[in-house]
C-alpha cells in the first residue's frame, strides 16, 4: 500500500494515536478538534485500517504553533511512545499537529522515529513519514515557510495597530484606542458604527451608594485613591477603606472573574497601587508599553520587556486627575515604601519596637509610626518616627488618647 506521505509501507492493523491542536479557545470555534479528528479518521484511520483506542489514544491540544519545547501534549506523546502504547502518530498536517517551528518539530520527529513510531498526515506534501533526504528537505522547507508566514502576519498586525493608534491628521483620521482587552477602570468605551472600541469617555455611572447616601462612581473612586495617596495614606489603608465602605472592585464592576476564583471580591493593595502608577488617569493613555523580549536560559516562555517612550504611542483621553496630583501621589507612595517597617533603616533608634513600649492609657503595645516635618528654613520634608497606640478606642467606645 502506498502511504499518503511519500513512503511505501503497510500500516494495516497498527495502533494509532490521534493528535489535534488549536491555538486558542476562540480558534476552536472555527477550526475545531472535531473537524480535525473527522478528517484524520476519513483519510488515515479508516483507509489504512489502523486501530484506535477511543478512550486513551486521542489527544486534543490547545497551544500556539510557534511554541514547542514545553508543550505538555508532546511530552505525553513521548512518554506513551517509550512505553510502546502506539505505532503511528496521526494528525491533520504537521503545522497543525507539531507546530510551525521547522527545526524543533524535526527534532521531535527524530525522537519518535528512534522509538519506532511512524507519523502520518492528511497532506501528502508534508512527507511526514518519509525518511529520505528529499523528505527531510521538504519538511524543513515547509516548516520554515510556515514560520515566516506567521512572523509576517504578526508584523503586519502590529504595524496596523500602531498606525491606528497614531492616526493620520492629513487624512482626518484621529488617534484611537486599539486592542480588544477590557476597558480601563474609570472609563467606558466609545465605539464606532461596527461596535469596535475607538476611544474612552469618563464613566459616571453610579456603582454604589454607601450608608450615608454618598453616590460612588468609578471616576470618584479614582479621585479618592489619588487624593488619599497624596495625603500620605498607604495603599493598604486605602484598600481597607474601600472594602470597609463596600465599594465594588474593578473586577466586580466589569463582571470579571479569574478562572478558579472562589473568594469574595475585595480590594487588594496591588490593585490600588496599579491604579496609582497608571499615567492614563491624567490623560495620557500609552499603547505598546511592553514588547516581546528575549528567551532567557532556564525559562519556559519568552518574557516581556518594558519599551522606551519612542516605542510607545500616547493617545489623549479625558483626564480624571491632574498630572500634579499624580506625581504627588506617586512620590508619597514611594516615601511610604521607604519608611515601611520592613524597610526600616533606623532599627537601632527604635529598639522598643519589640513590645517593651506600652500605652499608659490602655496597655497596648505601641507601634512605630512615621511622619514628615517641613522646616520653614529649608522647605524640605524630613521623615521622623514616633510611638503611637494602635487601638483607636477603649472601653465604652472612648477614644484612646495614647
pLDDT in tens, 313-332: 888 899 999 999 999 999 98
More confident of the two residues 362 and 250: 250
- Asked if residue 147 lies in contact with residue 100, where contact means CB atoms within 8 angstroms, the answer is yes
10 pLDDT above the threshold of 70:
yes
pLDDT digits 0-9 by tens, 39-50: 999 999 998 889
The structural domains of the chain, with segments of one domain joined by +, span 15-149, 187-325, 340-399
- In CATH terms, the superfamily for domain 15-149 is Resolvase, N-terminal catalytic domain (3.40.50.1390)
C-alpha distances (whole Å) from 289 to each of 46, 118, 152, 183, 312 are: 51, 46, 21, 16, 6
In terms of C-beta density within 10 A (0-12 exposed, 13-18 middle, 19 or more buried), how is residue 36 classed? buried
Q: Which phi and psi (to 5°) does residue 22 adopt?
A: -130, 150
Grid cell locating 69: 519545547
Give the span between the Cα atoms of 228 and 214, in whole angstroms: 17
357 pLDDT above the threshold of 50:
yes
Please tell me whether residue 140 adopts helix, strand or coil conformation: helix
Q: Which CATH architecture has domain 187-325?
A: Alpha-Beta Complex (3.90)
Give the span between the Cα atoms of 223 and 242, in whole angstroms: 13
Grid cell locating 371: 511622619
In the block, residue with C-alpha cell 461596535: 195
Q: Which of 300, 140, 334, 157 has its CA nearest to residue 232?
A: 334
- Residue range 370-384: mean pLDDT, rounded: 75
- Cβ neighbours, 10 Å, residue 38: 13
| pLDDT band, residue 348 (cuts 50/70/90) | low
Percent of the chain with pLDDT over 90: 25
In terms of C-beta density within 10 A (0-12 exposed, 13-18 middle, 19 or more buried), how is residue 13 classed? exposed
Residue 239 neighbours by CB under 8 Å, 6+ apart: 266, 267, 268, 269, 271, 272
Neighbouring-strand partners of residue 370: 385
Residue 4 neighbours by CB under 8 Å, 6+ apart: 43, 44, 120, 121, 122, 123, 124
Mean pLDDT taken over the chain = 81
HEC secondary structure over 303-340: CEEECCCCCCEEEECCCCCCHHHHHHHHHHHHHHHHCC
More confident of the two residues 75 and 377: 75
- Asked if residue 315 lies in contact with residue 285, where contact means CB atoms within 8 angstroms, the answer is yes
- Residue range 254-263: mean pLDDT, rounded: 66
C-alpha distances (whole Å) from 399 to each of 234, 393, 395 are: 22, 4, 9
Amino acid at each position: 500500500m502506498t502511504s499518503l506521505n511519500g513512503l511505501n509501507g503497510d500500516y494495516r492493523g497498527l495502533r494509532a494515536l490521534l493528535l489535534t491542536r488549536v491555538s486558542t479557545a476562540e480558534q476552536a470555534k472555527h477550526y475545531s478538534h472535531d473537524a480535525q479528528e473527522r478528517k484524520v479518521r476519513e483519510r488515515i484511520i479508516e483507509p489504512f485500517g489502523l486501530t484506535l483506542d477511543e478512550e486513551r489514544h486521542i489527544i486534543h491540544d490547545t497551544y500556539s504553533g510557534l511554541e514547542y519545547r514545553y508543550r505538555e501534549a508532546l511530552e505525553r506523546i513521548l512518554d506513551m511512545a517509550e512505553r510502546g502504547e502506539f505505532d503511528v502518530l496521526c494528525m491533520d498536517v504537521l503545522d497543525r499537529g507539531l507546530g510551525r517551528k521547522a527545526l524543533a518539530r524535526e527534532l521531535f520527529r527524530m525522537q519518535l522515529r528512534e522509538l519506532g513510531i511512524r507519523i502520518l498526515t492528511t497532506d501528502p506534501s508534508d512527507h511526514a513519514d518519509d525518511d529520505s533526504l528529499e523528505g527531510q528537505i521538504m519538511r524543513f522547507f515547509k516548516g520554515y515557510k510556515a514560520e515566516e508566514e506567521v512572523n509576517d502576519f504578526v508584523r503586519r498586525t502590529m504595524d496596523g495597530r500602531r498606525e491606528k493608534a497614531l492616526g493620520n491628521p492629513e487624512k482626518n483620521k484621529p488617534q484611537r484606542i486599539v486592542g480588544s482587552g477590557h476597558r480601563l477602570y474609570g472609563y467606558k468605551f466609545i465605539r464606532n458604527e461596527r461596535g469596535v472600541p475607538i476611544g474612552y469617555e469618563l464613566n459616571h455611572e453610579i456603582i454604589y451608594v454607601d450608608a450615608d447616601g454618598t453616590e460612588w462612581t468609578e471616576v470618584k473612586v479614582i479621585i479618592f485613591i489619588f487624593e488619599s495617596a497624596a495625603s500620605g495614606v498607604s495603599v493598604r489603608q486605602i484598600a481597607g477603606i474601600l472594602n470597609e465602605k463596600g465599594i465594588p472592585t474593578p473586577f466586580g464592576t466589569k463582571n470579571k472573574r479569574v478562572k478558579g476564583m472562589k473568594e469574595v471580591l475585595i480590594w487588594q493593595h496591588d490593585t490600588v497601587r496599579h491604579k496609582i502608577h497608571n499615567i492614563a488617569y491624567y490623560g495620557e493613555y500609552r499603547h505598546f508599553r511592553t514588547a516581546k523580549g528575549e528567551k532567557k536560559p532556564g525559562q519556559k516562555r519568552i518574557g516581556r520587556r518594558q519599551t522606551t517612550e519612542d516605542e510607545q504611542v500616547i493617545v489623549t483621553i479625558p483626564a480624571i486627575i491632574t498630572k500634579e496630583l499624580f506625581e504627588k501621589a506617586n512620590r508619597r507612595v514611594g516615601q511610604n515604601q521607604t519608611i515601611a517597617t520592613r524597610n526600616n533603616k533606623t532599627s537601632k533608634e527604635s529598639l522598643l519596637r519589640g513590645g517593651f513600649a506600652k500605652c499608659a492609657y490602655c496597655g497596648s503595645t505601641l507601634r512605630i509610626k512615621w511622619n514628615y516635618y517641613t522646616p520653614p528654613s529649608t522647605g524640605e520634608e524630613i521623615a521622623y518616627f514616633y510611638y503611637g497606640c494602635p487601638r483607636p478606642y477603649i472601653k465604652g467606645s472612648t477614644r484612646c488618647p495614647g
